[in-house]
Homo-oligomer: A and B are copies of this chain.
Amino acid sequence: MVLSRADAAALDAADPLPDVRRRFVVGDPALIYLDGNSLGRLPAATPARLAALVEGEWGERLIRSWNEGWLDAPGRVGDLIAPLVGAAAGQVAVADSTTVNLYKLAGAALAATDRTVIVTDRGNFPTDRYVFDGLAEVRLVDSVDDVPAAIGADTALVSLSHVDYRSGAIADMAAINTAAHAAGALVLWDLSHSAGAIPVDLDGTRTDLAVGCTYKYLNGGPGAPAFLYVRRGLQGELVPPIQGWFGQRDQFAMGPAFDPVDGIERFLSGTPNIVGLAGVEEGVGVLAAAGIAALRTKSVAQTTMLIDLADAWLAELGFGVESPRDADRRGSHVALTHPDGRRISRALTELAAVIVDFRQPDVIRFGVTPAYTTFVEIWDALDRLRELVRSGAHETLPDPTDRVT
């Protein structure tokens, strides 16, 4: 029996997190936004925070603000993210992009060993694969399941995305860590599609290294600074390849040689973007208040409902479900496939006011952001999709260009 729209509305009425949605700007009520896994919505408090920073801290206090909260922002905001990814304080810092942080941590791991190989999977996010290609010999496996068998005595580092950016599948962090450690390798996880979306237990799984972006589920804003995690016991053993003055002990002594601080800040490089950090602090603050357990419960209910509706309405129209059907193995987005997926994705946005995104060659991603996505939005989105494809309206569009994730 298929859920009715009234059923979806009843689920929204019973939502234990309605106050969280109200902490985001939802401007156009007709627009259904299922692309929070590419760019999260604007938290309602962010404009005023950024205005106060720009006009007050920069405009009035000027350079003095560095000693009034700016210098320690990378570690302070890192400690705010830490509980969302299962990390004790002092192990997370926020600065630079996910790509640069991947490079720094993978480079540091390689420099600390004679081993030369990085193991990753063919489906890992492009920038991760490109970074590794520039650093080391890369051993590509076809699937995350093949990773343990590919780890050998030559393996310096195993690096995977915790949640697959296409399918939404969750990799088994604990099992991969155990396999890597048994072979003497370190592990670096990319949490871009999991931080703020699903529970992560970096400390509990004995993870060595992790990075993640803040502009998806953490709602930090476009291109906001990314985070990095280095297990405390490992911090003193690793030196980042980019030796910058923000990682230097007694930074303003400006001494002759690089002498990294003991803590997580040694993995910083240049001057951090302060406006970007403030956006991350606001976005993470909303999620931290909601709690990751409650967010996950709602997310599972929503992605399950989405798949149920897809089975009921869309299978007969040529759609497949690429995401795991087992909710425990699924992150907070759902991948549907369709041979004409590219054009359908564009038509959904342009003709039906539903924003999703498309991934080569045939994946339409529906990002569920439990902080602000409603059950009715999901119901309406799939209903509009069904009508669109039934009517053939998407076939009137030319082949579209891609959008960013």
Contacts and interface: CB of A to CB of B under 8 A. Distances in A.
A401 interface: yes
| Identical copies in the complex | 2
A54 B243 contact: no
Given A42-B59, A62-B355, A63-B355, 9 more contacts: A50-B54, A71-B404, A97-B272, A103-B242, A129-B256, A213-B271, A252-B404, A254-B359, A276-B276
Contacts of A401: 67
Nearest to A367: B63
Interface of A: 25, 27-28, 33, 35, 38-39, 41-42, 46-47, 50-51, 54-55, 57-60, 62-67, 70-71, 96-100, 103, 122, 125-127, 129-131, 133-135, 213, 215, 221-226, 239-246, 248, 252-258, 269-277, 279, 349, 355, 357, 359-360, 401-404
A323 B68 CA distance: 31
B134 A258 contact: yes
A55 B47 contact: yes
Contact of A269 (B99, B254, B404): B99
A188 to B, nearest CB: 15
A137 to B, nearest CB: 14
Q: Which 7 A-B pairs have the closest CB atoms?
A: A97-B270, A99-B270, A252-B402, A127-B245, A42-B59, A66-B404, A222-B274
Contacts of A279: 275
B225 A133 contact: no
